[in-house]
Structure 1
Amino acid sequence: MISGQLPINAEGRALADKSFEEQTQQVLSNLEHCLARAGVDKYSLVQVRVYVTDMDQWPVFNRIYAQWLGDHRPARAVAGVAQLHFGSAIEVEAMALAATA
């Protein structure tokens, strides 16, 4: 389980002042980094939950997400929320399955 990933760069700076597109790319990069640290990749994802503060941005997220993930389609839900930490426009949490020995 990967807890909520916000658009925060490697230096710990929140990117709430960046475009929704840039925030989305950072969130997916953070998610991919967390997955790699757990020994899996994005193709191990089985569920993704997305929180956005502006549902009108959903098509933007959907386009970037589809490019990022290719043909793999884990279960996914989106929820519109009033606000997110640090003024972020997007947060993503996910679940992946790892092979067992």
Structure 2
Amino acid sequence: QAAAAAAAQAAAASQVAYGGTLDGQVIYNNLCTGCHTTGVANAPTLDAAHWTARIAQGVDVLHRHAIEGYTGPDGGVMPPKGGNPALTDEQVIATVDWMLSQI
């Protein structure tokens, strides 16, 4: 039973992105940077000009949009969990919080 439990735990861990890290910078550098560095699909880059109005909506809204996905009035598209469904909600929140700390 112990071996089966260990195998099940290992299998579950392999389904969580980036080893389950809650280091937002690691997740950003591996997933988010492609759009949020270049502005692809009107993704806001990490500068205050792109975030002032978004931050005014409150961090809970930003977390929800990053987790659930969002299409903005400017045609910008944020896919759910940045397009990686293996991310946990906690990982997405940690990444959004890291991004906000960089602005």
Q: Normalising by the residue count of structure 2, what TM-score does the alignment of the two structures yield? A: 0.28
Structure number with the bigger relative contact order (C-alpha 8 A, sep ≥ 6) is: 1
Give the structure with the higher percent strand: 1
> Greater Rg, structure 1 or structure 2?
2
Give the structure with the higher percent helix: 2
Q: Normalising by the residue count of structure 1, what TM-score does the alignment of the two structures yield? A: 0.28
